Amino acid sequence: MSLRILDTCINCDVCEPECPNGAIHMGESIYVIERGLCTECVGHYDTPQCQEVCPVDCIEKDPDNPETPESLEIKFRMLTGQL
């Protein structure tokens, strides 16, 4: 699944620079994750870096956008030009 940021986000700015795919940006009131760019850091790291640094644990898997590890790997390869 791609990840999403909950309304409990405090806009601390630590997640955005950690995303290797540039999937995180400021929305209208809180940060948001572009699901088309989110690979949960597959291909870059063992764990999603935004979740690792979030001080309020407001980043979770998006149940409305399920993705398999295989589909995340394919997305990573497409984003990095390896397909």
- The domain segmentation of the chain, as residue ranges, is 3-79
Q: What is the pLDDT of residues 38-63, one digit of tens each?
A: 999 999 999 999 999 999 999 999 99
**Secondary structure letter of residue 15 according to DSSP:** S
Q: Which CATH number is associated with domain 3-79?
A: 3.30.70.20
Q: What average pLDDT does range 11-23 have in this prediction?
A: 97
Look at residue 35 and tell me whether its pLDDT is greater than 80: yes
Structure tokens belonging to residue 5:
């940021």
Look at residue 11 and tell me whether its pLDDT is greater than 90: yes
Average pLDDT, whole number, for the chain?
96
For residues 6 and 60, the answer to whether their CB atoms sit within 8 Å is: yes
Report the residue count for the chain.
83
Cα 57 from Cα 55, distance rounded (Å)? 6
Look at residue 1 and tell me whether its pLDDT is greater than 80: no
Place of tokens 């760019």: 37
pLDDT at 43 (0 to 100) = 95
